[in-house]
Structure 1
Amino acid sequence: MPTSERPAADKARGEARRSRREPLSRERVLATALEIVDADGVEALTMRGLARELGCTAMALYRYAESRDALLDDLVESVMDELVSAPVADEWTAELRRMAHGFRALAVAHPRMVPLLVTRPLATPLGLRPLGTLRPLETLLGLLIDDGFSPDDALHVYRAFVGLLNGHVLTELQEVIADPEESDALLRLGLNRLPPREFPHVRALASELTTYDGATELDKGLDMLIAGLQRQLRVGG
């Protein structure tokens, strides 16, 4: 190794040794698990691989997660904890927007976590899910009921809201440009391959499809949802 490269290599090895000497904790285990998912996807997260990254045995991890399934549940909860649990806004429409953009920000920051965030809770009965994944539900139900919605309607609002939000983040993350350097909108998306007679509307919207703005699209969806809910609240009141 050239002499000039030795200090950098020695520093890296020193940092790795110090990291491996750090005591295990739930926070460190979950932070390292998130790093693995962010880098290589959910499939890459195994108990043995995580133990290797942490410099411990796989058995040592079972103090913090009894199985890979438990680890995935804890990971979802830890990411969801990044959302503010207590309402920030007194008005339900503003709180819906805050929660929506907060969840979108998590999805954009951790795109490979999105399949877990969207589907993982569905695999577990409501009362058995990690508490952190239920706090947004409790928070929003309380706010809606306090603002005049019946408990049943508040639950329907939450379901519609989550459906909009999950659909949005999945749609935003699949927006793929075939040829970013191409100036023609049809060619950028590869829409030129679609038969014109079978897909006239999709082809006609090529320019709009290539200028997808996730935050703007989310607000448009929220505008439509909130406008309908406000009308329902006025009629019901």
Structure 2
Amino acid sequence: MTSPDKSNNQKGTRKAPLSRELVLSTALALVDGKGLDALTMRRLGQELQRDPMSLYRYAANRAALLDGVTEVVMNELAILPEDLDWQVQLRKIAHDFRLLALQHPNVLPLLVTRPLSTPLGLRPLGTLRPLEHILALLIDAGFAPADALHVYRVYYGFLYGHILNELQEYIVDPDENEAILRLGLHRLPAKEFPHLRALGPALADYDGAAELDQGLTILLTGLAAQLAASDSPPVPQP
């Protein structure tokens, strides 16, 4: 006969039913905490307290797990189709994407490189929605479809590059007041790297959000000028 205490303990430790959402959210938590190399079916089974074989119902292999984790993160990116100002939208998406990357830095390599290993039409739908939305936004704003695709590529190329650069910013000694010493720039030969040493204060005061916004202003201003030029009537030739 089972004692009441033992019965209550069994009820209190009852496992949540498996689902794709639970498997992928646990996989994301594992990547966030331990890195991409820690994500295996065996380790994920341990985290879920399940036989790893039971997970193949929700992800056919590790590659499918990686795709699923990418989709979970991209689904967190807010898309606001009712806002038709393409410059405002692109600026907001960029800042939201940056925050996502900072929250999930271990997932960023997946967001940048994972799509390259999968044909476009076979990628998880969640990773394609930003592309479809931005294309629609730009085409509605007046860009030709082919130009809209080019803008998307330039935009995300800039965005990925900025975020990778920001995550690589490294302070050697955060308690040191002198910028050159904080960044370890004092180790560089002064005659060979005069500009880097001189820019020590600017490098030490790096503000990722402000840097992103400045880059977006340059990018969007150029795109707006391109769009305005394409809308202008042709100049008569003498």
2:66 aligned residue (48, 61, 72):
72
Distance 1:56 1:171, change over 3 A: same
Instruction: Assess if the C-alpha contact under 8 Å between 1:42 and 1:113 holds in 2.
Output: yes
Instruction: Assess if the C-alpha contact under 8 Å between 1:88 and 1:95 holds in 2.
Output: no
1:195 aligned partner:
189
Distance 1:20 1:157, change over 3 A: farther
Unaligned segments of structure 1, at least 5 residues: 1-13
Query: Equivalents in 2 of 1:88, 1:119: separation in Å?
Result: 30
Greater share of residues in helix: 1
CA-CA distance at 1:86 after TM superposition: 4.2
Name whichever of 174-183 and 81-90 sits farther off. Answer: 81-90
1:208 equivalent in alignment to 2:182: no
1:147 equivalent in alignment to 2:147: no
Query: Equivalents in 2 of 1:55, 1:97: separation in Å?
Result: 42
Aligned residue pairs total 224
Query: Equivalents in 1 of 2:117, 2:10: separation in Å?
Result: 37
* Residues 150-182 of structure 1, C-alpha deviations (whole Å, 9 max, x = no match): 111111110010001100110111111000011
Instruction: Assess if the C-alpha contact under 8 Å between 1:20 and 1:55 holds in 2.
Output: no
Distance 1:173 1:71, change over 3 A: same
3-state DSSP of counterpart to 2:106: helix
1:185 equivalent in alignment to 2:179: yes
Query: Where has structure 1 moved over 3 Å in runs of 4 or more?
Result: 14-20
2:236 aligned partner:
none
Q: TM-score, normalised by structure 2?
A: 0.90
Q: TM-score, normalised by structure 1?
A: 0.91
Identity percentage of aligned residues: 59
Query: Equivalents in 2 of 1:18, 1:84: separation in Å?
Result: 36
* Residues 21-56 of structure 1, C-alpha deviations (whole Å, 9 max, x = no match): 111111111111111111110001100000011011
1:49 equivalent in alignment to 2:49: no
1:104 equivalent in alignment to 2:90: no
1:121 aligned residue (115, 118, 125):
115
Unaligned segments of structure 2, at least 5 residues: 1-7, 232-238
CA-CA distance at 1:87 after TM superposition: 2.4
